[in-house]
């Protein structure tokens, strides 16, 4: 993960992964119900996509569901719900190259809702397909670290998923 600074002086973080896959396979992970459900969410969670409309101004609505016993116990201990309904709004799509969206953060107890900007860039490289995901920091260091860990986990799930498909 690389830390960068955005124009608004809000911290941003970038995650890179290289896949032994096609650009279409990687793009589909982000833009189809089946693709998103196959990897989205850190270990111990899964998602159910309720609606996905990958176009500028379109939305994706989904439920993030705690499913592993240790994660369920941890969520209960923190007083967090086991299912969180979430929404993101696409702001830019360049097919098979780039997508950007605002993710609504309206699930943190005691914190006013806000948006996290995310940009995904996909390119072909000698080793396969390179993907760079750049996200805004959260409202504080604790939640930013939780988001960072979550992204690392779910991106690793995507790497394993696409590697298994190539076998």
Is pLDDT of 8 > 70? no
CATH of the domain at 155: 3.30.530.20
How does 101-136 read in b/e, with b if 16+ C-beta sit within 10 Å?
bbbbbeeeeeeeeeebbbbbbbeeeeebbbbebbbb
Range of the domain at 123: 2-166
Tally the domains of the chain.
1
pTM of the model as a whole:
0.89
Is pLDDT of 84 > 80? yes
- 32-81 residue pLDDT tens: 999 999 999 999 999 999 999 999 999 999 999 999 999 999 999 988 89
| β pairing state of 2-5 and 11-19 | antiparallel
Of 138, 97, 140, 104, the residue nearest 119 (C-alpha): 97
Is pLDDT of 4 > 50? no
Average pLDDT of the residues in 148-166 = 93
pLDDT band at 9; cut points 50, 70, 90: low
Q: At which residue do the structure tokens 């989904």 appear?
A: 62
Is pLDDT of 129 > 80? yes
């Amino acid at each position: 993960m690389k830390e960068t600074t955005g124009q608004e002086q809000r911290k941003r973080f970038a995650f890179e992964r290289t896949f032994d896959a096609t650009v279409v396979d990687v793009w589909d992970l982000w833009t189809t119900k089946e693709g998103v459900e196959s990897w989205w969410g850190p270990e111990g969670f899964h998602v159910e996509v309720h609606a996905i409309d990958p176009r500028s101004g379109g939305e994706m609505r989904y439920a993030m569901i705690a499913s592993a016993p240790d994660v369920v116990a941890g969520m209960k201990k923190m007083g967090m719900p086991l299912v969180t309904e979430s929404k993101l709004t696409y702001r830019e799509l360049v097919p098979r190259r780039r997508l950007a969206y605002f993710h609504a953060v309206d699930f943190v107890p005691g914190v006013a809702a806000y948006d996290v900007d995310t940009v995904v860039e996909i390119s072909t490289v000698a080793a396969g397909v390179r993907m760079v995901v750049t996200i805004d920091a959260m409202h504080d260091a604790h939640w930013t670290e939780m988001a960072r860990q979550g992204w690392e986990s779910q991106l690793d799930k995507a790497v394993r998923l696409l590697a298994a498909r190539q076998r």
